[in-house]
C-alpha cells in the first residue's frame, strides 16, 4: 500500500492464473490451496466489482487546497446514487469497504444539517483508499441483444498540498492509472477574484497562484507517465470543473447557459456541454485566468470546461455553514458524464 501510504493490514492476495480477467472466475490460493473468488486491486487492495474487466475505467480527481474537492466528491457520489442513476436507468452500489464510503455518508449528513466538511489531510498524515462504485446499465451489443454492462467508477480525494510541488505530485502515482481526470478549479483562486475572496472571508486560505502551479505539476506527471514529448499534447481527457459558481451568479445573467438546469434525457448532451464550455472560458478569461486556458490548450488534446455548484447556493465561508435552504446541486455530474461519454459508457445526443 505504498501508493496510498496506508499501513492498515490487508489480506494476502496472489496474481490470477487466468490470462483473461473475467468475472465469475475462482482460483486456488498457492499458499493454502483454498478457493478464492474475491478480486482486489494489486496496488491498494481495494475490492473490485465482480464484473470488473479491462473496460472498467478509473477516473481521478485533483485540485488545490480548499478548492472544494471533498464537498464536490460527496455530492457527486450522492448524485450518482440518485438522480443521475435514474436519468440513465442505471443501478449503482458501493464496492468494498473503503473508509471513505463512511466519510462520504457522514459528510453528506453534515451538509444536510448545515455543516461543511473540514479540509482533507495530507496523504502522509491520513491514509485514504478510493471510493469504488459499480455502475450497471443495460445496453445493446453489436447484434442488438440487450445485456447488462458493468463499469467500475473509482474516485480518490487527495489533499491539495499533495499536488503543490513536482516531487509530491509524483508521489500520487494512482493518477497515472486513470482513464480521465476531473480537475477541480476554485474561481476564488484566480488572481482577478482576490477582492471577492477577501470580502467573503476566504482570501487567507490559499495563494492565487496555486491553480496553474498544481495544473502544471499534474501535466508534467502525466507527460512522464504517458511518455508524451513536450511538443505533443496529452491524449488523456481532462474535465475542468469550476466549482462554487453560485458565488458568481451576480456576474452571470439568469438566462446564461451556465445557470440553466442540466439536461434530463438519458444521454450526454454534447451541444449543451460545448455551449457551457465557451461561456466558462469567457468567464475565466475575464477573471484574469487566461494563463490557465493557454496551459490547457497547449498541453491537452481533449479538455472540457464545466461550471458546477455542489451546494446550489453560496455558504457562509467564515462559519463553514451551508445555505439555510439546504443542498441543491447544480450540474455536478456533468464532468463525469463527459468522461463516461468519451468511453462510450453513456450515449451522446441532444438532451431535453
Q: Which of 22-31, 115-124, 143-152, 291-300: highest mean pLDDT?
A: 291-300
3-state secondary structure of 150: strand
How high is the mean pLDDT of the chain?
A: 79
Could you tell me what percent of the chain has a pLDDT over 90? Answer: 31
* Per-residue confidence (pLDDT) for residue 107, from 0 to 100: 67
* Per-residue confidence (pLDDT) for residue 285, from 0 to 100: 95
Radius of gyration of the chain, Cα coordinates, nearest whole angstrom: 20
**Residue 64 Cα to chain centre, angstroms:** 13
**How much is the average pLDDT of 103-126?**
64
Answer yes or no: pTM beyond 0.95.
no
**How much is the average pLDDT of 188-194?**
87
Which are the contacts of 231, defined by CB distance < 8 A and separation ≥ 6? none
**How much is the average pLDDT of 173-195?**
84
Which of these ranges, 76-80, 101-105, 178-182, 229-233, has the smallest mean pLDDT?
101-105
3-state secondary structure of 316: strand
**How much is the average pLDDT of 62-71?**
75
Which are the contacts of 145, defined by CB distance < 8 A and separation ≥ 6? none
Q: Which residue has the cell 491539495?
A: 160
**Is residue 204 predicted with pLDDT exceeding 90?**
no
* Per-residue confidence (pLDDT) for residue 88, from 0 to 100: 94
Q: Which residue has the higher pLDDT, 351 or 15?
A: 15
Give residue 68's region: left, alpha or beta (phi > 0; psi -120 to 50): left
* Per-residue confidence (pLDDT) for residue 126, from 0 to 100: 40
* Per-residue confidence (pLDDT) for residue 335, from 0 to 100: 96
Terminal-to-terminal C-alpha distance of the chain: 45
- 321: confidence class by pLDDT, cuts 50, 70, 90: confident
Which of these ranges, 125-129, 246-250, 261-265, 341-345, has the smallest mean pLDDT?
125-129
Which of these ranges, 273-282, 311-320, 331-340, has the smallest mean pLDDT?
311-320
**How much is the average pLDDT of 262-276?**
95
**If residue 81 lies in a helix (H) or strand (E), which one and from where to where?**
helix 69-81
CATH class of 2-349: alpha beta
CA atoms within 13 A on the CB side of 43: 12
- 305: confidence class by pLDDT, cuts 50, 70, 90: very high
**Residue 288 Cα to chain centre, angstroms:** 25
The DSSP bridge pattern shows strands 146-155 and 131-140 to be: antiparallel
Q: Which of 3-12, 100-109, 291-300: highest mean pLDDT?
A: 291-300
Q: Which residue has the higher pLDDT, 239 or 66?
A: 239
* Per-residue confidence (pLDDT) for residue 319, from 0 to 100: 76
Report long-range pairs for 312-317 (Cβ below 8 Å, ≥24 apart).
312/246, 313/246, 314/200, 314/244, 314/246, 314/247, 315/116, 317/200, 317/201, 317/202
Helix axes 270-286, 290-299, angle to 10 degrees: 130
Amino acid at each position: 500500500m505504498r501508493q496510498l501510504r496506508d499501513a492498515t493490514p490487508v489480506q494476502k492476495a496472489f496474481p490470477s492464473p487466468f490470462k483473461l480477467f473475467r468475472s465469475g472466475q475462482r482460483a486456488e490460493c498457492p499458499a493454502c490451496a483454498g478457493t478464492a473468488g474475491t478480486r482486489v486491486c494489486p496496488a491498494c487492495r481495494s475490492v473490485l466489482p465482480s464484473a470488473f474487466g479491462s473496460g472498467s475505467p478509473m477516473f481521478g480527481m485533483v485540485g488545490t487546497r480548499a478548492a472544494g474537492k471533498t464537498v464536490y466528491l460527496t455530492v457527486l457520489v450522492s448524485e450518482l446514487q440518485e438522480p443521475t442513476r435514474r436519468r440513465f436507468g442505471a443501478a449503482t452500489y458501493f464496492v468494498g469497504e473503503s473508509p471513505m464510503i463512511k466519510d462520504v455518508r457522514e459528510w453528506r449528513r453534515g451538509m444536510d444539517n448545515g455543516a461543511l466538511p473540514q479540509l482533507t489531510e495530507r496523504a502522509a498524515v491520513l491514509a485514504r483508499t478510493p471510493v469504488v462504485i459499480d455502475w450497471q446499465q443495460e445496453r445493446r451489443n453489436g447484434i442488438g441483444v440487450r445485456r447488462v454492462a458493468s463499469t467500475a467508477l473509482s474516485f480518490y480525494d487527495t489533499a491539495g498540498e499533495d499536488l503543490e510541488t513536482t516531487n509530491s505530485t509524483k508521489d500520487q502515482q494512482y493518477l497515472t492509472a486513470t482513464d480521465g481526470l476531473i480537475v477541480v478549479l476554485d474561481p476564488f483562486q484566480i488572481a482577478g477574484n482576490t477582492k471577492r475572496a477577501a470580502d467573503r472571508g476566504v482570501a487567507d486560505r490559499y495563494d492565487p497562484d496555486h491553480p496553474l502551479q498544481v495544473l502544471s505539476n499534474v501535466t508534467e506527471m502525466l507527460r512522464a507517465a504517458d511518455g508524451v514529448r513536450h511538443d505533443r499534447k496529452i491524449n488523456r481527457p481532462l474535465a475542468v470543473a469550476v466549482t462554487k459558481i453560485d458565488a458568481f451568479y451576480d456576474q452571470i445573467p439568469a438566462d446564461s447557459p451556465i445557470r440553466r438546469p442540466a439536461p434530463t434525457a438519458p444521454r450526454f448532451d454534447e451541444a449543451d456541454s460545448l455551449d457551457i464550455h465557451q461561456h466558462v472560458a469567457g468567464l475565466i478569461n475575464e477573471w484574469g485566468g487566461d494563463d490557465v486556458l493557454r496551459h490547457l490548450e497547449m498541453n491537452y488534446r481533449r479538455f472540457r470546461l464545466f461550471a458546477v455548484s455542489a451546494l446550489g447556493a453560496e455558504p457562509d465561508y467564515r462559519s463553514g455553514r451551508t445555505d439555510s435552504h439546504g443542498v441543491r446541486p447544480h450540474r455536478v455530474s456533468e464532468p463525469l458524464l463527459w468522461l463516461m461519454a468519451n468511453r462510450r459508457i453513456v450515449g451522446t445526443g441532444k438532451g431535453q
